[in-house]
Structure 1
Amino acid sequence: MALPLPPGLTPSEVAFLCEMELVTVIPRQRLEGLELLGGSTPVLQPPHRTTLPLWLALLLKRQRRANIAPPPWLLPTSLTAILEFETEHSKDAFSPPPLLPPTSSTTAPVSPPFLPSSTASAPADALPYHWLEMGNILLEVAPDDFEEPDQVRRLLRDLREVRMAKVRKGVEVLDAGGGVKMNGVGGMEVAEGRAFIGGVIDGLRKIGASREQARKESEAEERENGYAGNASDDDDDMDL
């Protein structure tokens, strides 16, 4: 009998979905396009940049056939500005994500990973949905494509700690019956915080159930004691 799967996506599954994100590559040799299920890829012609899915860009990088251009938000200056916004200008809220492209009645709305939020034309002041896993993957496979990879690692670590502290702090309002505002939270942050937040909610639910049970028992005991007192008073009146 198979064990039940945990609810939601695991961190490894979120990282797998991140590989569908689009990135900008700089080909080092000419390569013909590939016919994939999602369509054909463009022809790679050095030194012209092109956009490819991350999984294919990683394959070409490992084969030394292309370099990967880090998205603008993954540069040290951009990460420093975003970290400053998270720590100084916004104590509770998260930095805003990239704006979604406009939609009309004839076009279907799109969401990650079908957004160019990690290409060379992405905004520099907004973290996309897969920002954490995208940064870690690129730093692991293509550290030579960064000017200062060690500084980028440090900034990503600091940014992750600051944002996870906000997630834990937001859970405190659950005890008062409030909700946690998750606007701008990334996919990996949701996957990592799901167990913590779910455990807190289950604990609060059990505490609330025990309090409700204790209240019902107290009210039942008060009704019984009150009824017995009234009966004894009636007996006293009859004796008189």
Structure 2
Amino acid sequence: TKARSLAGNSFTTSDLEFYAENEHVNIVPRFSSPEFNFICGDYGPFTPQREVEVPLWLAVALKQQMKCFIRCPEWMTIENLKAIKDQEKSTEINELADLPFYYMEICSMILQVAADDIPHSDRVRSLLEDIQNLRAP
């Protein structure tokens, strides 16, 4: 299904998730390892309980193997999402709040594999849905 259209190009949900996977998130590893070297960059070193920034695709893969916790991005906290919802609901302000371009895809992927890492994940889902509905044309 077509999800968004940008500059005349239509993108499917899968396309958008593919692009979103390159966004960076913080994880807390449950393992020790030197740096991982990929074509797209070097990540690590990985030390238990020491936060490190990695692309979302790597965070998801490590979480699925139960090798890390995914930290909730600051913009994805209940407090921030409530503030964004209130701002966008306001009739006085006609501009969208600052969220990552692929915020829905990022949230979807994080909540799919790491809902247990996100405080009050059900409320986060609800607020994201409210924001998406406010932004819908």
What's the TM-score, normalizing by structure 2?
0.88
CA–CA separation in structure 2 for the residues paired with 1:20 and 1:7: 20
Q: Give 1:90 shift.
A: 4.5
Q: Secondary structure at the match of 1:8?
A: strand
Residue equivalent to 1:144? 116
CA–CA separation in structure 1 for the residues paired with 2:12 and 2:127: 24
Which residue identity does 1:61 align to in structure 2?
K
Q: 2:10 aligns with which of 2, 8, 11?
A: 8
Q: Aligned ranges for residues 129-208 of structure 1 at < 5 Å? A: 129-164=101-136, 168=137
Dislocated runs of 4+, deviation >4 Å = none
CA–CA separation in structure 2 for the residues paired with 1:65 and 1:74: 22
Q: Sequence identity of aligned pairs in percent? A: 31
Residue equivalent to 1:64? 66
Q: Give 1:9 shift.
A: 2.2
CA–CA separation in structure 1 for the residues paired with 2:76 and 2:117: 12
Q: Secondary structure at the match of 2:9?
A: coil
Q: 1:51 aligns with which of 50, 53, 78?
A: 53
Which residue identity does 1:69 align to in structure 2?
R
CA–CA separation in structure 1 for the residues paired with 2:43 and 2:34: 8
Q: Give 1:146 shift.
A: 1.1
How many matched pairs? 130
Q: Give 1:89 shift.
A: 5.0
The answer to which structure has the higher helix fraction is 1
Q: Give 1:91 shift.
A: 5.2
CA–CA separation in structure 1 for the residues paired with 2:118 and 2:9: 36
Judged with a 3 Å threshold, the aligned counterparts in structure 2 of structure 1 residues 151 and 7 are, in CA distance, closer, same or farther, namely: same
Q: Which runs of no fewer than 5 residues in structure 2 stay unpaired?
A: 1-7
CA–CA separation in structure 1 for the residues paired with 2:92 and 2:31: 45
Which residue identity does 1:151 align to in structure 2?
R
Judged with a 3 Å threshold, the aligned counterparts in structure 2 of structure 1 residues 12 and 28 are, in CA distance, closer, same or farther, namely: same
CA–CA separation in structure 1 for the residues paired with 2:110 and 2:27: 12
The answer to which structure has the higher strand fraction is 2
Q: Secondary structure at the match of 2:90?
A: helix
Please tell me the root mean square deviation across aligned C-alpha atoms, in Å. Answer: 1.5
Q: 1:81 aligns with which of 56, 80, 83?
A: 83
Q: Which runs of no fewer than 5 residues in structure 1 stay unpaired?
A: 1-5, 98-126, 169-240
CA–CA separation in structure 2 for the residues paired with 1:142 and 1:76: 16
CA–CA separation in structure 2 for the residues paired with 1:16 and 1:30: 28
Which residue identity does 2:102 align to in structure 1?
H
Q: What does the per-residue CA deviation read over 1:143-191, in whole Å, with 9 as the maximum and x for residues that have no partner?
A: 0001101100100111100011xxx2xxxxxxxxxxxxxxxxxxxxxxx
